[in-house]
Chains A and B, each alone.
Chain A
């Protein structure tokens, strides 16, 4: 069953053609890594999947619901599609525990005791149970990002989107975040779409690697073909060469 389906999707910012003829099908449970030079449209693409960026043309179906259909309730799509941002975007006015419990409480109306129990389990899973009563500003970037992941998981989504989750972190914190993400990727029910430059992560857990440049998908390979074989696209080969020698 496919979770995310792009069919000839076009996206414009005014006159600028940000996404060109995007065709992409991501099956439920797949882990897909999206790479490419900056300005290639990979963040734009991932942000269209939960409607943060509207698309102007083409068909975009997420979890069986069509974005082009005016009757589609965007909030319903978002219940099943979590997102983790480069700059965490934790709620600055709430404690860590409240950050995780808020959406399940007011969107899903989850029972309060159950909500708290699950939130604490998630905090435990990301290794931050002892930080429950702090506010986001008191935590390091790596800790905040792990909380952001826990906050997304609290909604029990079918699909998680990661928009450069480690790009704003100090090097020594990146591994903690990547380990949590690898742990999630091993869960075969979760669909993951990850924009990242962490090639080690991509090689280890990605089922597929997609290379984008200039708003187009230039390469769509299995992870083995991409890393161990040769990408057929010249720009993808060059990009890979640069990123791995660094």
Chain B
């Protein structure tokens, strides 16, 4: 294992970096898009609710690999050339946003409806009530399941390997076939994923405790 690190340090580092960057971009946009669709889904307007629901069901129920391949193969045919990294990151963002939307929606719905009523009666608009009163309480409820979604997202970023996204998994495949030492290679790769996911997992737990206090 040590020799893998010694001989292929550059590739591993590059893969680690790509995985990290892809995860951070996807995490940020998936959270923003997911929260947005969660709010649209709880809006009283039936049309908006229906559209949000359709988006969520679409991306939640198609395999991540299929979504990613779609962006990798179809977009270049009709719109613009797109790198494997970009296709993978977009696919991962949309796929994860659907799960995050469902998580945030359940959080919004677990906030006492009296909070929204009180805020509306107090003169706040629907969006102001969401922003200042409902969402802060909802995020407190959904922090534990949201942490799971974040960790899933990072692990799912390995989909980049299928579209030459130069991520950790992709470099792992390269190293394994070059060194012919598959087991040691994939152990190294697993270890590097843990370096990202474990601290995140602990940080989410810390946040949970801090907010519960």
Q: Which of B29-37, B82-90, B113-121 forms contacts with chain A?
A: B113-121
* Given A89-B115, A106-B128, A52 contacting B136 (CB threshold 8 A): no
The answer to whether A165 has its CB under 8 Å from any CB of chain B is no
Select from chain A the residue with minimum beta-carbon distance to B132: A102
Q: For window 49-102 of chain A, which residues contact chain B by CB distance below 8 Å?
A: 50, 52, 75, 78-79, 82-83, 85, 87-94, 102
A106 & B132 in contact (Cβ 8 Å cutoff): yes
- Report the contact-size class of chain A (Cβ under 8 Å from the partner): 20 to 34
A75 & B136 in contact (Cβ 8 Å cutoff): no
Partner of A106, one of B120, B121, B124, B136: B124
B132 & A78 in contact (Cβ 8 Å cutoff): no
B121 & A92 in contact (Cβ 8 Å cutoff): no
The answer to whether A143 has its CB under 8 Å from any CB of chain B is no
Select from chain B the residue with minimum beta-carbon distance to A50: B121
Bound-state Cα–Cα, A107 to B106, Å = 28
The answer to whether A152 has its CB under 8 Å from any CB of chain B is yes
Partner of B118, one of A75, A91, A106, A107: A91
A89 & B114 in contact (Cβ 8 Å cutoff): yes
Q: For window 130-162 of chain A, which residues contact chain B by CB distance below 8 Å?
A: 148, 151-152, 155
A52 & B114 in contact (Cβ 8 Å cutoff): no
Interface of chain A, main secondary structure: loop
Residues of B within 8 A of A93 (CB): 133, 136-137, 140
* Given A89-B114, A102-B132, A75 contacting B122 (CB threshold 8 A): no
A52 & B121 in contact (Cβ 8 Å cutoff): yes
A78 & B137 in contact (Cβ 8 Å cutoff): no
The answer to whether A184 has its CB under 8 Å from any CB of chain B is no
Bound-state Cα–Cα, A75 to B120, Å = 8
A91 & B123 in contact (Cβ 8 Å cutoff): no
Return A19 CB to nearest CB of chain B, in Å: 19
Residues of B within 8 A of A107 (CB): 122-124, 128
> A-facing mask of B175-213, CB < 8 A → 1, else 0?
000000000000000000000000000000000000000
Residues of A within 8 A of B121 (CB): 50, 52, 78, 82-83, 85, 89
Residues of A within 8 A of B119 (CB): 91, 103
Bound-state Cα–Cα, A155 to B128, Å = 16
B123 & A155 in contact (Cβ 8 Å cutoff): yes
Bound-state Cα–Cα, A79 to B122, Å = 7
Q: For window 82-100 of chain B, which residues contact chain A by CB distance below 8 Å?
A: none
Most buried by A among B114, B115, B123: B123
Residues of B within 8 A of A91 (CB): 115, 118-119, 132-133
Bound-state Cα–Cα, A106 to B115, Å = 17
Return B24 CB to nearest CB of chain A, in Å: 28
Residues of B within 8 A of A82 (CB): 121-122
Bound-state Cα–Cα, A92 to B128, Å = 15
Residues of B within 8 A of A50 (CB): 121
> B-facing mask of A8-24, CB < 8 A → 1, else 0?
00000000000000000
Residues of A within 8 A of B125 (CB): 75
A92 & B137 in contact (Cβ 8 Å cutoff): yes
A85 & B117 in contact (Cβ 8 Å cutoff): yes
A85 & B132 in contact (Cβ 8 Å cutoff): no
Return B180 CB to nearest CB of chain A, in Å: 57
Return B64 CB to nearest CB of chain A, in Å: 35
Known: A94-B133, A103-B122, A106-B124. 5 other contacts (CB 8 A): A50-B121, A92-B112, A107-B123, A151-B122, A155-B123
Residues of A within 8 A of B (CB): 50, 52, 75, 78-79, 82-83, 85, 87-94, 102-103, 106-108, 148, 151-152, 155
**What 9 pairs across the A-B complex have the smallest Cβ distances?**
A89-B118, A83-B121, A89-B114, A107-B123, A103-B122, A78-B123, A79-B123, A93-B136, A103-B123
Residues of B within 8 A of A (CB): 112, 114-115, 117-125, 128, 132-133, 136-137, 140
Q: 29 interchain pairs (CB within 8 A)?
A: A50-B121, A52-B117, A52-B120, A75-B124, A78-B122, A79-B123, A82-B122, A83-B121, A85-B114, A85-B117, A88-B118, A89-B112, A89-B114, A89-B117, A90-B118, A91-B115, A93-B133, A102-B132, A103-B122, A103-B123, A103-B124, A106-B124, A106-B132, A107-B122, A108-B123, A151-B122, A152-B122, A155-B122, A155-B123
